[in-house]
Structure formats: structure tokens, C-alpha cells
Amino acid sequence: MALLLLHGALGAAADFDSLLPLLDMEDVYTFDFEGHGTQALPEGPFSIEQFANNVVMFMNDNDLEWIDIFGYSMGGYVALFLASEYPLRVGKIMTLATKFHWTPEAAAQETRLLDADKIQEKVPQYAGALAQLHGDTWKDMLAATAEMIHHLGAAPPLTDERLQTIKNPVRVSLGDRDKMVTLDETVHVYQQLSNAEFQVFPSTPHPINQVAMPVLAEAINTYFS
């Protein structure tokens, strides 16, 4: 059994370094989406569709006909979009802390937090962490992410109609202290899926580095066993 871990926006495969040793699967894969971590920025803008294609290319390069997927935040959005496009290449899916409800207002609220100059000025430690994770292109990565979020707000690709086409087993999960993702939007997506489970992690905020990895690993090991 093989499992692929997909990171979130502003993240990279390195976000899963402390999770990997706790997983029981025989083959666990991670990679960086374009423009994140070790990967160069693409010529065009970021998009969910593009990141789904990144997954397909990674699978092809590694001779993976199909794979189970755990997606954190944006990674969960990409996983569900991928399942709607290529259902036979995806097995089970588990999402955590994925924001599904996008509107122009929600996009504007989130992109206000992606001003690189303000981050450098007000949160220099975070700016340093982003530079360490993504290199010299971290500011361009932030700008590309903001553009993608505006597009999500204007035309979110995961419509109810698309979600209802997904027949893969899915577990949709959320931390009870997540300040970015609401319970209502998560439950709504769970209700659109025909083969879904729902899970809430106690005492769990949104940032991946604040998630209790042993608890998350136990859930992943149990679900994908």
C-alpha cells in the first residue's frame, strides 16, 4: 500500500518530516508542489488544476498507477479535485484543515495576510522561516499564492456538483481550534460526498507545526490500514 502526503499553501514536503517516522505504511511519498520548497516557480500562475497535474506527473515519474492520499489544507483541496478528474488513479483520501468555502470576501481576508513586506516588517521570524523553506523566491511564492486565492474566491473549482461525482472513500477532518476553516464548511463538504467520514481532532489549531503528530499519525494509520 502506498500513501502520498500533500502539503498546504506556503508549505513544503518538509512539513511532514516529523510525521513520516510515525506512519506504518510500506511506501510513503512526499513532494513539493511547483514554486514550493525545492521546486522552481512555474512560468504561469498557481492553480489547483496545475497542482493536481503536479501530482499526476509525480505519480507517472514514480510508476504509481494509483495511490492513497493524505492532504493537509490546500493539499486536501488538490486531492479531492484530483479524484474528481482521475478517480481511477486515487484510492482513499483523508483531508485535514482544508478550506473549502471560497468567496471573494474570504479570499480578500486571507490574502491580506500574504503581504511579504509586512511579514518582513512585523513578523521577521516567520519571514526567515519562509525564506529557509522556499529560498530566495519566497516573496514570489507568496504573490502567486495570493493570486491563486483570489481566483479561488471568484471561481472555486470544487463545486457541490463536482464533489458529488467523487465516489472514492474520503475522510474529511478538522481541528476543533482551527481559526481559518469552519466546522460548517467542512461538514457541508462531507455531506456532498457519497462515501465519506468526518473527524474532529481535539485541541488542534490550523498550522501543521502545531498539530500533535502522534495523534495525526494514529488516525492516518488506522484509516489507511
Q: How confident is the model over 82-119, as pLDDT tens digits?
A: 999 999 999 999 999 999 999 999 999 999 999 999 99
Superfamily of domain 2-101+158-223: Alpha/Beta hydrolase fold, catalytic domain (3.40.50.1820)
Q: How confident is the model over 19-63, as pLDDT tens digits?
A: 999 999 989 999 999 999 999 999 999 999 999 999 999 999 999
191 vs 163: CA distance, rounded Å? 10
pLDDT tier at 77 (50, 70, 90 boundaries)? very high
Q: How confident is the model over 129-187, as pLDDT tens digits?
A: 999 999 999 999 999 999 999 999 999 999 999 999 999 999 999 999 999 999 999 99
pLDDT (0 to 100) of residue 65: 96
Q: How much is the pTM?
A: 0.97
Q: How many CA atoms lie within 13 A of 19 on its CB side?
A: 29
**What contacts 44, CB < 8 A, 6 or more positions away?**
50
pLDDT at 1 over 80: no
Task: Give the mean pLDDT of 70-87.
Answer: 98
Domain boundaries, the chain: 2-101+158-223
For every residue of 41-106, DSSP letters joined together read PPSS---HHHHHHHHHHHHHHTT-S-EEEEEETHHHHHHHHHHHH-GGGEEEEEEES------HHH
Q: How confident is the model over 186-221, as pLDDT tens digits?
A: 999 999 999 999 999 999 999 999 999 999 999 999
Grid cell 483523508 — which residue?
Answer: 94
